[in-house]
Amino acid sequence: MKRTGAQIIWESLQREDVEVVFGYPGGAILPAYDAMLDYPIHHVLTRHEQGATHMADGYARASGKVGVAMATSGPGATNMVTGIATAMMDSSPIVCITGQVSSGLVGLDAFQETDVTGITLPITKHNYLVTRVEDIARSIREAFYIAATGRPGPVLLDITKDAQQASYEFDWEASAPRLPGYRPALRALPAEYEKAITLINSAKRPLILAGHGVLQSGAMKVLRDFVEKAQIPVAMTLLGIGCFPATHPLNLGMMGMHGEAWVNHSIQQADLLLAFGTRFDDRVTGNVKTYAPKAKKIHIEIDPSEINKVIKADVALVGDLRDVLEELSPRIAPGDHEEWIDHINEMKGDSAVRDIQNLPDTGHLYAAHVINDLWRHTEGEALICTDVGQHQMWTAQYYKHDKPFRLITSGGLGTMGFGLPSAIGAKMACPDAEVWAIAGDGGFQMTAAELTTAAQENVKVNVAVINNGYLGMVRQWQEFFYSKRYAATPMKSPDFVKLAEAHGLAGLRVTERSQVEGAIRAARETEGTVVIDFRVAKEDSVYPMVPAGADLHEMIRRPRPRIPLAKESDAPEEWEMATK
C-alpha cells in the first residue's frame, strides 16, 4: 500500500514495537508529526531535545528495549548531541530521528540546516542521511537492529523533509536489513578458552571485574553460578552495579576512583583479573602503568576493539558475555580461595570504622545519610536514576542494589542534567517501579524544565535534590588539588520547593536528619512527582578518592569525621586509626 514517508516512519516504528517516542517538533520534522496523530504510539513532549534523548536512554536502560527520540533539523538536532554522546559512552541503545531540510536544499546552508550526520558521526554507532522515501523503512529497520545488537549504541536517522512527504509502496517484509559488513555476533576462539581455564584453575588471588556488559548480555544468573562455583570475589564498575547482588558475601562493591579501599587494594593485589564486559575506563584503573601489576588478565568483551586498548590482556575471549560464561562455567574446576577472601575481609574491617554510616548520629544532615535512609525506606527496591557529581558517587556507595537494572547513571560521559529526564524515561518503561531521581543542586537545574514534562504526562518520579550549595564534585577537586580556591563552584539556587509548586507538583524541604524519613514517606505516598530539597552539609567530600592519574592504591582515605562531638572523649578508639 502506498504511504507517505512520514507514515512509513510510524508504520516502521510500530513494527519495531515502539510504544513511546520522546520528542520536540519543528519545521523539518512536521510531516512526521502530522502523520503521528493517526498512529497509536504515545508521544512525550519534552521541554528540550536533550531531555528527549536522556528519556529515551533511561527508557532503554530500564526496559532493555530501544528508546526513541525525535527532533527537528538544525537546533533541534544539535540539542540532541549531549544525549547521543551520553548513550554512546554507556552503550545504550537509542534511535534518534531528526528531520532534515529537503534534499534539494542540503548543502546550501538552508534555514535550520545542520550537517547532523557529520556532527554525530563520532558519537553514534552508525547514522543515516535518508533522502529518498524508498530508503526510509529499511534504514529504520537497520537502525533498530544496529542499536540493539552486539555492543549496543545510539543510531541516528536524519530524514529529509521531501523524503517524508513523498509516497512509496510500504513493504516491511521487503525492507529487511542489508548489512553485509555488520557482524555483531562474534564467538571466542577455542584456544583462548583453554588458556582461560588454566589461568582460572591455578589462580590464588583471582578477582572478577564486572561491568555493564554483564547487564547488557543478561549474564547475571550465569555470573552468579560462575562466582559460586569458582569462589571468586566480584568488584563492580559504576555501570555494573546491580549485575551481582550487593548483599552476596562475594560482592566487594564498586571499584575505581571512588571505590572502597578494600576493593582497589584487592585489584592491586590480585594474581588474576577477570574483566567481564568492561573497558578499563581511566576512572576505574587509575594509573595504568601500576595497575594490578601482579595479575594476569582475562578480558571477556563483545567489542574486539576494546581488547588491549587500555590494559593488555593475556587471554581475550571476544563474544557475548553470557555465551562465553555459559561455555566457560561448566569447564572450570570448583574453587576455594578462603585465604584470599579472608584477607579481603580483613581489609574491609579497617574501612568500616571510617564509614560515616557507622558513626554516631549527631542530627546533622549528610548526603550519605540521606541516601542510606532512602535505601532503607525503599527496601533497596527503587529504580534510581542519578545525575552527575558527588551525590552520584554517594548513591553508588550507599544505595545497595541486589537487583539488576535498578541504577541508571551517566558513567562514561558524566552528563549533568541526566538524572531527572532519564528517570522520566525509566518510569515510562517501568510504570510499576518506584523511580527516584537523585540529583545535585547544579545538575538538577540543567534539566529541571522537564519537571513540567512529568507534570503534563502525569508521571510519578520522586526527585531527591542533594542540595549542598556547590558544584560539589568540582569544589571537592578544588579543595584537594587547587588549595581550596573555589572558582565558580559556590552556587545559589532557586527555591526548589516553590519551583516544584510552580509546576503544579509537591515540594518538600529537609534540613535535619530527623526529617528524612518523614519526607521520604510523604513523597512515596503523594500522587505525582515530588521534589525534596535536602539541605545537606556544604563542604562534604566523597571518600575514598584516587586522584586522577594516581596509582589505584594511592587513595585519599576518609578522614576523621567532621561531625562535632559532645566530648572529645566520645570518640571511639578506632577513630584514631581512621585518621591516619
Ligand X SMILES: Cc1ncc(C[n+]2csc(CCOP(=O)(O)OP(=O)(O)O)c2C)c(N)n1
Rounded CA gap, 185 and 202, in Å?
A: 30
Q: Which of 175, 468, 478, 529 binds ligand X (CB under 6 A)?
A: 468
Active site residue 527: no
- Backbone CA torsion sign across 283, 289, 295, 301: positive
DSSP code of 270? -
Active site residue 112: yes
Write out the E strands in 331-452: 383-386, 407-408, 435-440
Rounded CA gap, 400 and 379, in Å?
A: 10
Q: Which of 189, 352, 548, 565 binds other proteins (CB under 8 A)?
A: 189
Q: Identify which of residues 185 and 565 has a Cβ nearer to other proteins in the complex.
A: 185
Q: In what order do the strands lie in the sheet with 155-160?
A: 42-45, 20-23, 67-71, 94-100, 155-160, 126-130
Beta carbon of residue 541, minimum distance to ligand X (angstroms, whole number): 10
Identify what 416 binds: ligand X, other proteins, Mg ion, none; CB under 5 to 8 Å per kind: ligand X
Q: Which of 29, 87, 384, 416 binds ligand X (CB under 6 A)?
A: 416
If we measure between CA atoms, which residue out of 331, 344, 202, 348 comes closest to residue 271?
Answer: 202
Beta carbon of residue 377, minimum distance to ligand X (angstroms, whole number): 21
Q: Identify which of residues 411 and 472 has a Cβ nearer to ligand X in the complex.
A: 472
Q: Which of 220, 473, 545, 555 is catalytic?
A: 473
Q: How many residues does the chain have?
A: 580
Rounded CA gap, 439 and 458, in Å?
A: 20
Q: Identify which of residues 174 and 487 has a Cβ nearer to other proteins in the complex.
A: 174
Active site residue 111: yes
Question: What is the chain's alpha carbon radius of gyration, rounded to the nearest angstrom?
Answer: 25
- C-alpha cell, 96: 534518534
**Residue with C-alpha cell 566520645?**
570
Other beta carbons within 10 Å of 390: 24
Q: Which of 122, 363, 431, 564 binds other proteins (CB under 8 A)?
A: 122
Please report whether residue 93 would count as binding other proteins according to CB under 8 A. Answer: no
- C-alpha cell, 34: 502530522
Other beta carbons within 10 Å of 4: 20
Please report whether residue 304 would count as binding other proteins according to CB under 8 A. Answer: yes
Q: Are the C-beta atoms of 272 and 332 separated by less than 8 Å?
A: no
Beta carbon of residue 122, minimum distance to other proteins (angstroms, whole number): 5
Q: Which of 100, 142, 144, 161 is catalytic?
A: 161
Cis amide bond preceding 544, omega within 30: yes
Q: Which of 67, 74, 442, 544 binds ligand X (CB under 6 A)?
A: 442
Q: Which listed range, 46-54, 75-83, 314-322, 434-442, lies at the site for other proteins (CB under 8 A)? A: 314-322
Rounded CA gap, 211 and 242, in Å?
A: 10
Beta carbon of residue 186, minimum distance to other proteins (angstroms, whole number): 4
Identify what 304 binds: other proteins, Mg ion, ligand X, none; CB under 5 to 8 Å per kind: other proteins
DSSP code of 430? -
Q: Identify which of residues 279 and 391 has a Cβ nearer to ligand X in the complex.
A: 391
Q: Which of 14, 19, 112, 491 is catalytic?
A: 112
Please report whether residue 415 would count as binding ligand X according to CB under 6 A. Answer: yes
Please report whether residue 93 would count as binding ligand X according to CB under 6 A. Answer: no
> Tell me, what amino acid is at 173?
E
Compute how many residues bind Mg ion; rule: CB under 5 A.
6
If we measure between CA atoms, which residue out of 202, 208, 213 comes closest to residue 298?
Answer: 208
Active site residue 161: yes
Q: Which of 125, 391, 401, 406 binds ligand X (CB under 6 A)?
A: 391
Please report whether residue 294 would count as binding other proteins according to CB under 8 A. Answer: no
Instruction: Please give the full DSSP string across 438-493, using - where no structure is assigned.
Output: EEEHHHHHHHTTHHHHHHHHT---EEEEEE-SB-HHHHHHHHHHSTT--TT-B---
Q: Which of 441, 533, 540, 551 binds Mg ion (CB under 5 A)?
A: 441
Rounded CA gap, 449 and 45, in Å?
A: 12
Q: Which listed range, 102-110, 255-263, 464-472, 497-505, lies at the site for Mg ion (CB under 5 A)? A: 464-472
- C-alpha cell, 370: 540521606
Q: Identify which of residues 1 and 108 has a Cβ nearer to other proteins in the complex.
A: 108
If we measure between CA atoms, which residue out of 410, 378, 396 comes closest to residue 58?
Answer: 410
Please report whether residue 468 would count as binding Mg ion according to CB under 5 A. Answer: yes
Q: Which listed range, 86-94, 114-122, 262-270, 475-483, lies at the site for other proteins (CB under 8 A)? A: 114-122
Identify what 122 binds: Mg ion, ligand X, other proteins, none; CB under 5 to 8 Å per kind: other proteins
Backbone dihedral region for residue 176 (phi beyond 0: left; psi -120 to 50: alpha; all else: beta): beta
Active site residue 55: no
Please report whether residue 441 would count as binding ligand X according to CB under 6 A. Answer: yes
Please report whether residue 118 would count as binding other proteins according to CB under 8 A. Answer: yes
Q: Which of 58, 253, 404, 472 binds Mg ion (CB under 5 A)?
A: 472
Q: Identify which of residues 389 and 404 has a Cβ nearer to ligand X in the complex.
A: 389
Q: Which listed range, 51-59, 266-274, 350-358, 465-473, lies at the site for ligand X (CB under 6 A)? A: 465-473
Q: Which of 105, 106, 110, 179 binds other proteins (CB under 8 A)?
A: 179
Beta carbon of residue 33, minimum distance to other proteins (angstroms, whole number): 27
Nearest residue to ligand X, scored by beta-carbon proximity: 440
Task: Give the bridge partners for 276, in sequence order.
Answer: 210, 300
- C-alpha cell, 488: 565558580
> Tell me, what amino acid is at 206?
P
Beta carbon of residue 492, minimum distance to ligand X (angstroms, whole number): 12
Write out the E strands in 401-511: 407-408, 435-440, 462-467, 506-510
Alpha-carbon distances of 315 from 151, 187, 216, 298, rounded to whole Å: 20, 14, 22, 5
Q: Between 353 and 382, how does the x/- string for binding to ligand X read (CB under 6 A)?
A: ------------------------------
Cis amide bond preceding 547, omega within 30: no
Write out the E strands in 327-432: 383-386, 407-408
Q: Which of 11, 16, 49, 450 is catalytic?
A: 49
Other beta carbons within 10 Å of 106: 17
Residues marked active site are found at 49, 111-112, 161, 473
**Residues of this chain that bind Mg ion (CB under 5 A):** 440-442, 468, 470, 472
Using CB under 8 A, list all residues that contact other proteins. Answer: 117-118, 121-122, 125-126, 129, 146, 177, 179-189, 192, 303-305, 307-309, 312, 316-319
What does the binding site for ligand X look like in residue numbers (CB under 6 A)? 387-391, 414-417, 440-443, 466, 468, 470-474
